[in-house]
Amino acid sequence: MKIGIVGGTGDIGEGIAMRLAPRYDVIVGSRDEARAHESCTCSIASLKNRGISCRSFSGATNQDAISCADVVILAVPFRNVISTLESLSCFEDKIVISPVNPMEKQDYFMFVPPPDGSAALMIRRLLPQETRICSAFNTIAANKWKALDEDLTYSVPVCGDDAEAKNVVMGIVNSISKLQAFDAGPLAASSMVEALTPLLLNIARYNKMRDVGIQFR
């Protein structure tokens, strides 16, 4: 399976890429292809230093990462989603994973959804009808992705309307460290999951904690 990461040179995208590379063919996308290649070189070295080998780890433009992939992860901030997607194509029949959380930091972190109700539903509106969209990875702290010497022991809610696509995404989740995927319902339920992230950030801030996550038991 080939997984393309749009925005793959950011902290979240780069960390996800390194976690996925031992098991999948990963294509790191960026607006700057040279930056994508540089990110891959550094990531491969980080994994090699830990005795971890990669299946396939390559850099590309965001567009090429989409065109070559079976599954696409949108590792971009909410504020950049619309401008990014308007410049890209070839999403038809792809599985697209949204870890995007619409939020703002004022006196505290706030969930600020678009008129669609959630980032995932907005992305569904922006992409072709044939695209199969799921939300996942929304509640994992950015710092944890790149902490390769640490196990990820979180629960990951997955929302989506296509049962086959959701099963594929849950399989990807379960293949990473000690993450455990949970079916969280249709894509319309994504708003409840996305709202957890500002909640977790507020809990971390006011209780002097770091990288707070969730577990279902």
* Longest CA–CA separation in the chain, Å: 46
Distance separating alpha carbons of residues 212 and 141, to the nearest angstrom: 7
- The one-character DSSP state at 94 is -
Tens digit of each residue's pLDDT (9 = 90 or more) over 102-141? 999 999 999 999 999 999 999 999 999 999 999 999 999 9
pLDDT of residue 158: 98
Distance separating alpha carbons of residues 38 and 117, to the nearest angstrom: 37
Tens digit of each residue's pLDDT (9 = 90 or more) over 4-45? 999 999 889 999 999 999 999 999 999 999 999 999 999 999
Gyration radius (Cα) of the chain, Å: 16
pLDDT above 90 for 206: yes
Tokens of 195: 């709202």
Tally: H helices and E strands in the chain: 9, 10
Distance separating alpha carbons of residues 192 and 169, to the nearest angstrom: 18
Confidence of residue 80 (pLDDT cuts 50, 70, 90): very high
Question: Could you tell me how far CA 90 lies from the centroid of its own chain?
Answer: 19
Distance separating alpha carbons of residues 182 and 109, to the nearest angstrom: 25
DSSP characters over 37-54: HHHHHHHHHHHHHTT---
**Domains in the chain: boundaries:** 2-206
Backbone phi, then psi, for 147, in 5-degree steps?
-85, 75
pLDDT above 90 for 142: no
Confidence of residue 72 (pLDDT cuts 50, 70, 90): very high
pLDDT of residue 168: 98
Question: Could you tell me how far CA 141 lies from the centroid of its own chain?
Answer: 11
Does domain 2-206 fall under CATH 3.40.50.720? My reply is yes
Going by C-alpha positions, the residue among 135, 187, 184 that lies closest to residue 161 is 187
